[in-house]
Amino acid sequence: MLTRPDRHLTATWLGAVILAVGLAACSAGTGDETGSAAEAASPSADPAPAVTPPGAPAGADTNPFLAGAPAADPDMQSVHAADALRASDPDGAAALDVISDVGASLWVGDWFEPAEAQTLVHDYATAAHAAGRTGVVTVYAIPARDCGSFSDGGLTPEEYPDFVQAVADGLRGTRTAVVLEPDALADLGACDAQGDRAGLLRQATAALADAGASVYLDAGNSAWIDAPTMADRLRQAGIEDARGFATNVSNFRTTSDERAYGDQLAALLGTHYVVDTSRNGLGPLGDGPLDWCNPAGRALGEKPAAVDDGSALDAYLYVKVPGESDGECDRGDPAAGQFWPEYAIGLVERAGG
């Protein structure tokens, strides 16, 4: 079953970032001064220099989530949706608060100019570190993204390296985890206009790793590409420079299935992995052609947290933002990336949240 993540239309959260970094600077005396929100939001403004935290970034050598739990973005769409429901539906708002409190990855893609993406990820990651957390950024801009399905788009092969380098520059010195290009390797060769996809991913992995990021190349899921084939694709994409790989992004496969798949891949590669548990609490709906697309009756899975059990698994993460639509799904569902409060509330309620 093909997993099709959404095209995330993440809003900036500069006001909250400025407050967080400012408070950290006042209390610890280690933060850099930050300009006004208007200056930071301007595409022409120079991004603030990276704040290098004490000690070396995790990179590929250690589990980044042992140094800080996954960060929660205070500008997630669930935050705004909960605020809008607070007076009329307090129970629904409380359910959305469950998602906001644990947080999900910040997605950046071709809906941002490179300078905008650089500023956004820098401010997000710096604030996450100031709060003692590990930021999680998902890069989603590969050429021929989603092969023309509901989340189609992406940059050209010529534009892509500069975009990734801007993201890397924004993350430099911030101890951040990066999930790199959901679906890209699982869809390798599945449609035209991909360019040298493996080469682009290899270059992107190296650039992000050079900036100190802990890179997790997307490896599809346990029901998509067999482990030996995916291991070969990950090698082509530069897994040796990465911390490891990510599985189940935007999908619903059970944690036990994903751990079995991840362990098999990790043994083949000698590396580590993370699992997206954002919507897999009750497993998949089925294996129909669109059963991956906003399936009914699903639930949140394990909350984001580091895993330190001696296995190759580094963490459970909400990579997909719970409640953001996978797309129209050929039945008139909200567009990809649009937050769907009713769906999000159902995910929480069925998980017992």
Catalytic residues: 146, 183, 326
**What 8-state DSSP symbol labels residue 343?**
H
Phi-psi sector, 114: left (phi>0), alpha (psi -120 to 50), beta: alpha
Return the closest-CA partner of residue 68 out of 138, 128, 139. 128
Please give the Cα distance from 270 to 268 (Å, whole number): 6
Tokens of 225: 């590409």
Q: What are phi and psi of 220, to 5 degrees?
A: 70, -135
Return the closest-CA partner of residue 253 out of 306, 195, 320. 320
In a 13 Å sphere around the CA of 152, the CA atoms on its Cβ side amount to 10
Return the closest-CA partner of residue 220 out of 189, 256, 258. 258
Amino acid (one-letter) located at 196 = D
Rg of the chain over Cα atoms, rounded to whole angstroms, equals 19
